[in-house]
């Protein structure tokens, strides 16, 4: 592993700290290296607040004070920061922004500080950035390297990239099924017995995942029979926006409506018909299936058929088997 990869891996670790509060902005981490030593770090903590690069530069003040001593003047601290930046490399998991949003452009700040080198994990697909940040750095005479651990940096913000590339939310299909392949029991009214596959322990995982999505979708039949709250009551975090689809035929329109509202991620917890509509149209990005240990019996409704041409992962959790599937990327 090269030094660039080591420092970029650290950027990714830092970026993950913003998983809860950075959205709808991407998670980003930044590391400042001077003569082989990390002297500053930062990540995007919360939407509307300082970006990773800004927080990394701010952290240089602590390093300066540790080297200069508590009695250092403000001028001495600033001189230390500026002199070290000119000799330093900055690593960022995502291309520095080049536009004025809720904060000023990070690319302008890096250019002003005259970093010797900037190593970027991946380009930003957002139309107002998309290469402009890289060009600003090059125009300022900074050496720029792009694409270090690019795949991992892209995976870090898969919802953000899907939203901007496909003009729809990232769609996560989720269901639980019995050992004999059923996801529900045949029911006509709410008081009819329902199939319970998840355990209190595996529900914690589901509620954790809910907290990471901006919206959650069910069909009108599920809403009528179960009246689900769709909250994160078994975890800590924000409840997703609850959306009910009146008919599976409206899915493309619904996704476009969510896109227009800026919803970047959607979890689908509906019934068989709703899930099949996403699968048949190809409008999905990830599938998760929880497989329980009990059978549903003759009154069970079969779970959807899993797509064949996919990347599949498997894991065990609290005695239940889980499958995760992703479309193959060409």
- Characterize the bridge pairing of strands 286-291 and 170-177: parallel
Maximum pairwise Cα distance, the chain: 79
3-state secondary structure of 68: helix
Cis omega (within 30 of 0) for bond into 24: yes
Out of 53, 95, 212, 290, the active site residue is 53
User: 33 has which bridge partners?
Assistant: 38, 89
What does DSSP assign to residue 250? G
Phi, psi for residue 145 in degrees, rounded to 5: -120, 130
Owner of token pair 């957002």: 126
Across 178-261, the runs of DSSP E, i.e. the strands, are 182-185, 215-219, 241-245
Whether 43 and 14 have beta carbons less than 8 Å apart is answered as: yes
What b/e sequence results for 58-79 when a residue is b if at least 16 CB atoms lie within 10 Å of its CB, and e otherwise? ebbbebbeeeeeeebeeeebee
Tell me the C-alpha distance between 43 and 308, whole Å.
38
Whether 18 and 46 have beta carbons less than 8 Å apart is answered as: yes
Tell me the C-alpha distance between 238 and 214, whole Å.
9
Whether 64 and 75 have beta carbons less than 8 Å apart is answered as: no
Q: Clarify whether 87 is annotated catalytic.
A: no
In sequence order, what are the residues at sequence separation of 6 or more whose Cβ sits closer than 8 angstroms to the Cβ of residue 239? 210, 211, 230, 231, 232
Residues noted as catalytic? 53
């Amino acid at each position: 592993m090269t030094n660039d990869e080591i420092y970029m891996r650290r950027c990714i670790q830092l970026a993950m700290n913003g998983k809860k509060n950075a959205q709808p902005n991407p998670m980003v981490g930044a590391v400042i290296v001077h003569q082989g030593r990390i002297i500053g770090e930062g990540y995007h903590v919360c939407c509307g607040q300082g970006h990773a690069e800004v927080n990394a530069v701010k952290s240089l003040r602590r390093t300066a004070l540790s080297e200069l001593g508590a009695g250092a003047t403000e001028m001495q601290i600033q001189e230390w920061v500026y002199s070290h930046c000119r000799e330093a490399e900055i690593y960022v998991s995502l291309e520095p922004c080049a536009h004025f949003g809720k904060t000023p452009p990070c690319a302008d700040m890096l250019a002003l500080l005259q970093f010797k080198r900037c190593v970027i994990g991946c380009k930003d697909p957002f139309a107002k950035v998309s290469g402009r940040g890289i060009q600003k750095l090059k125009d300022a005479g900074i050496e720029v390297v792009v694409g270090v651990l690019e795949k991992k940096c892209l995976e870090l913000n898969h919802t953000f990239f899907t939203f901007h590339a496909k003009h729809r939310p990232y769609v996560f299909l989720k269901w639980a099924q019995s050992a004999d392949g059923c996801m529900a029991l045949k029911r006509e009214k709410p008081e009819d017995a329902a199939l319970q596959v998840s355990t209190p322990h595996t529900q914690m995982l589901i509620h954790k995942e809910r907290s990471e999505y901006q919206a959650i979708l069910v069909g009108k039949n599920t809403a009528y029979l179960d009246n689900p709250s769709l909250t994160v009551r078994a975890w800590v975090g924000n409840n997703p926006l609850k959306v009910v689809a009146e008919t599976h035929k409206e899915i493309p329109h619904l996704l476009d409506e969510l896109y227009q509202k800026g919803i970047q991620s959607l979890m689908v917890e509906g019934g068989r018909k709703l899930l099949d509509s996403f699968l048949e149209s190809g409008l999905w990005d990830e599938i998760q299936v929880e497989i329980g240990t009990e059978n549903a019996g003759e009154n069970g409704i079969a779970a959807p058929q899993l797509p064949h041409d996919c990347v599949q992962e498997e894991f065990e959790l609290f005695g239940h088997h889980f499958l995760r599937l992703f479309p193959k990327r060409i």
